Amino acid sequence: MGRHGTIAGRKAAQDAKRGQLFTKYARAITVAAKDGGDPEYNISLKHAIDKAKNINMPNDNITRAIKKGTGELASESYEAGSFEGYGPGGVAIIVDVLTDNKNRTTSTVKHAFDKYNGNLGVPGCVSYMFNRKGVIIIEKTPVIKEDAVLEAALEAGAEDVLTHDDSFEILTEPEDFAAISDALHKAGYDFVESDVEFLPSIEATPNEDELKILKKLIEMLEDNDDVQKVYTNSTVDLYEVETD
């Protein structure tokens, strides 16, 4: 399955780190809510809430995060940022963060790269190997027909629809993502995942030993509450890699 991974792998990873994901998504909601607490008039907030609901984040958590963003509840001040570098096997890595202490986050991200044979680089050192795209994943089921998904996605303005063994992957331009997501929701489709992501245009294929170390690096980064998402250009699905 390569970069895409399997539905089972994605769900297993989500289940294993659900508590951490709640913390990360709450931060994203809080930051988005600074521009207004009504998701009907704040597309970024609506998207952040949709992501949280996809992993069954409790409504109370969502409401509390919104109130922190609007100032109704006390909250830390978070700053968005990103880091770029190389992992084992020359795999390019982008790390998106939301942090209330940039020095702390920089130190912990650098430590993870150093510990697992990576090199933290300067902004732009690997991002040229990626394209920014909206990605919507819909699980295949007996009642969801491929022709119907293709028609709904393309009519809504999607750039492409990729068919995998267990899912449909819908690609959009970033500026069209919110409208297409909304149209597919209204058409009755539920999403396994939906986000604007970095998709690799140049890929790397590390060997078996490099993959094991790479997975440990990615796991260490993802275990950091400041880290929102980690992207790689590995052609191998890291969910499927077993570490010692």
For 150-180, give the secondary structure using H, E and C: HHHHHHHCCCEEEECCCEEEEEECHHHHHHH
How far is Cα 171 from Cα 177, in angstroms, rounded to an integer? 8
pLDDT computed for residue 67 by the predictor:
97
Please state whether the predicted TM-score (pTM) of the whole model is above 0.75. Answer: yes
pLDDT computed for residue 19 by the predictor:
82
Amino acid sitting at position 111: H
pLDDT computed for residue 186 by the predictor:
92
pLDDT computed for residue 1 by the predictor:
32
How far is Cα 88 from Cα 116, in angstroms, rounded to an integer? 8
- Per-residue pLDDT, averaged over 26-50, amounts to 94
pLDDT computed for residue 79 by the predictor:
93
- Per-residue pLDDT, averaged over 114-132, amounts to 97
Residues 6+ apart with CB under 8 A from 8: 166
Q: What is the pLDDT of residues 180-195, one digit of tens each?
A: 999 999 999 999 889 9
Please say if the pLDDT value at position 40 is more than 80.
yes
Question: What is the pLDDT confidence band of residue 27, given thresholds at 50, 70 and 90?
Answer: very high
Lowest mean pLDDT among 52-56, 66-70, 111-115, 216-220: 52-56
User: What is the average pLDDT value for the chain, to the nearest integer?
Assistant: 92
Task: Give the CA distances from residue 170 to residues 90, 115, 134, 137, 160, in Å, rounded to whole numbers and listed in that order.
Answer: 28, 36, 8, 6, 6
Q: What is the pLDDT of residues 48-72, one digit of tens each?
A: 999 899 888 999 999 999 999 999 9
pLDDT computed for residue 2 by the predictor:
41
Question: What is the pLDDT confidence band of residue 20, given thresholds at 50, 70 and 90?
Answer: confident
- Per-residue pLDDT, averaged over 223-231, amounts to 95
**More confident call, 18 vs 192:** 192
**More confident call, 85 vs 236:** 85
pLDDT computed for residue 163 by the predictor:
93
pLDDT computed for residue 55 by the predictor:
86
CATH assignment, 7-70: 1.10.10.200
Considering the chain, what percentage of its residues have pLDDT values greater than 90? 81
How far is Cα 207 from Cα 90, in angstroms, rounded to an integer? 11
Secondary structure class of 84 (helix, strand, coil) = strand
